[in-house]
């Protein structure tokens, strides 16, 4: 089965991956996205050290947008099931912020679909990340235009 969830609890990556597996599949590709300590600033090239992250979502719309991605990815790739779980609230460095699992009969489609899903999630799903540093904090603004108008 497919599923999309938001949670404030730590994400169990293995269980996300296992929930998407049907008998006709031979490969599951799972992305484990987690909070990074060092981020290079795209403009200045300087490296900032992050202390922790805070994620927030427009929850009902985020679920709807994730469900749309699942529908779309299944129509465009030879895959069976998709699971997406995104963490909200405060995350320590190294904690998992997002898990995407794609089960498919063959691995190639699963890799491609997983890559497509994270790219689209970062562009369309209304979730925001705040980076907190020793000397300040910033809500990260993505570089996307308004999607799908």
Partner 1 sequence: MKVTVLFFGATADTVGSRELEIRADEAATAKSIIDQLSKDHPALAKHKLLIAINEEYADPDTLLKDGEEVALFTAVSGG
Binding residues for partner 1 (CB under 8 A) = 33, 55-58, 60-62, 64, 86, 97-98, 118, 121-130, 139-149
Q: Measured from the CB atom, is 33 or 105 closer to partner 1?
A: 33
Residues in the chain: 149
Least distance in angstroms from the C-beta of 43 to partner 1: 16
Buried b (16+ CB within 10 A) or exposed e, 47-65: ebebebbebebeeeebbeb
Least distance in angstroms from the C-beta of 105 to partner 1: 27
Q: Measured from the CB atom, is 20 or 66 closer to partner 1?
A: 66
Rounded to a whole number of angstroms, the distance between the first and last alpha carbons of the chain is: 29
Least distance in angstroms from the C-beta of 47 to partner 1: 19
- Rounded to whole angstroms, the Cα distance separating 18 from 85 reads 13
Q: Measured from the CB atom, is 51 or 78 closer to partner 1?
A: 51
Q: Measured from the CB atom, is 22 or 60 closer to partner 1?
A: 60
- Rounded to whole angstroms, the Cα distance separating 141 from 74 reads 29
């Amino acid at each position: 089965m497919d599923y999309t969830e938001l949670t404030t609890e730590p994400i169990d990556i293995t269980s996300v991956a296992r929930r998407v597996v049907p008998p006709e599949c031979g490969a599951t590709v799972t992305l484990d996205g987690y909070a990074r300590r060092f981020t290079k600033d795209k403009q200045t090239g300087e490296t900032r050290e992050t202390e922790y992250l805070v994620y927030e979502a427009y929850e009902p719309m985020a679920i709807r947008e994730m469900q749309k991605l699942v529908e779309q990815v299944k129509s465009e790739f030879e895959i069976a099931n998709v699971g997406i779980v995104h963490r909200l609230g405060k995350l320590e460095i190294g904690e998992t912020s997002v898990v995407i699992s794609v089960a498919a009969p063959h691995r190639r489609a699963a890799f491609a679909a997983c890559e497509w899903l994270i790219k689209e999630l970062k562009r369309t799903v209304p979730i925001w990340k705040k980076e907190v540093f020793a000397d300040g904090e910033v809500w990260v603004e993505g570089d996307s235009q308004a999607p799908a108008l």
